[in-house]
Amino acid sequence: MEPLKRWTLQVEKLEDGDEYIEFPKEVMEEVGWEEGDIIEWIDNKDGSWTLRKKLDDNHENTDASEK
């Protein structure tokens, strides 16, 4: 089993006040995500979040924290 990987990313803000996070290409490639994927946000209740790609019912999810 590979060790858990973590990334810290900046929350950016648009002129209209909306906030977003931009995932670097290297992170997207490492976790197997592509533009347009639906990402689930899971609150770890400790100030951190686990993100994983949402797949259909026939496939398992891919946790970023497991890559």
Q: Is residue 5 part of a domain?
A: no
Q: Read off the amino acid at residue 12.
A: E
Beta pairing partners, 21: 11
Tens digit of pLDDT for each residue in 47-66? 888 889 998 765 555 565 54
Q: Give how many domains the chain has, as a whole number.
A: 1
Tens digit of pLDDT for each residue in 13-30? 999 999 999 999 999 999
Q: Regarding beta strands 39-43 and 62-63, do their DSSP bridges make them parallel or antiparallel, or are they unpaired? A: unpaired
Q: Is residue 65 part of a domain?
A: no
Domain that holds residue 49: 11-60
